Amino acid sequence: MNYIIYDLEFNQKYIDFPEDNSNDSSRLPFEIIQIGALKLNERFETVSSFNALVKPKVYPKVHPYVEKLTKINDDIASSGKDFVSVYNDFLKFIADDQVVLCVWGTVDIKELLRNIEFYNLSSSSISKYYIDVQRNASLYLKSPNNSKVGLKTAIELLNLKTDNEFHDAFNDAYYTSEIFKTIYDDTIKPIIYSSSPYRKATSPKEKVDTASLIKQFEKMYSREMSDDEKSIIKLAYNMGRTRQFVVPYNSKEDT
């Protein structure tokens, strides 16, 4: 049995890019632009590696936040092969071996399968057995309140070398493999990945108690709010609820 330790980098929709295909954004919110992986044998020896850029199609221009995070710009991304070609190469890398996927959080499994489905490709060769290294590392490091430790933080806490940049799919796959080898014991077992459809929870309509909101500010500042201040507080609260100032967040980034 072999372990395939892989990591992905994604691109996503940017409102200022008219080139983005909005018709496909709901089916593919995160488009893979890099796949990095290592194959380890049962003795945790690296037997082969994989590193490929994927030319984005749905979001042809790289989101500024993604570029800042990954250092992948439009020129670098466009130099890659299309997803279908890279996926076929990835399957050859996996080969017909009995493998367990090892990932830093299950989002990489979810998005790989979603990208595969988007292009109407078969995922039958992708193992359903996986190990969430992030979850196991968080338990190993006794992360407080069942929180998930970030990749960089785990590397630092385990005193492992950091010779390369983070947020590069191949480098992050390597760091994940080093953590996996460090924390592994017989209690870490592969489990079967199961994707359940997302169901939006329904909740009762809510009304904001603006009077209490104003009173809270008056309590904080130990004085009565003026009419102008009350108007600003209400406006700021309502603007926040529209989510227009929410910025993209990468779940793998340390916080």
Mean pLDDT score, 93-108 = 92
- What is the structure's pLDDT at 206? 58
- Residue 127's identity, in one-letter code, is S
Please state, rounded to an integer, the average pLDDT across all residues of the chain: 86
For the question of whether the overall pTM of this predicted structure is more than 0.85, the answer is no
Residue 96, pLDDT > 60, answer: yes
- What is the structure's pLDDT at 248? 53
Quickly state the pLDDT bin for 254 (edges 50, 70, 90). low
Q: At what angle do helices 227-241 and 210-221 cross, to 10 degrees?
A: 120
More confident site: 211 or 103: 103
Least confident of 215-224, 225-234, 245-254: 245-254
Torsion of CA 231, 235, 237, 239, to 10 degrees: 180
- Bridge partners (DSSP) listed for residue 2: 99
- What is the structure's pLDDT at 97? 75
Closest CA to 167 of 51, 254, 232, 239: 254
Please report where in the chains the tokens 């593919």 appear, as a residue: 28
- What is the structure's pLDDT at 195? 72
Quickly state the pLDDT bin for 67 (edges 50, 70, 90). very high
- What is the structure's pLDDT at 194? 85
CA distance 153 to 31: 26
Quickly state the pLDDT bin for 207 (edges 50, 70, 90). low
More confident site: 246 or 94: 94
CA angle 11, 28, 87 (to 5 degrees): 75
Residue 172, pLDDT > 80, answer: yes
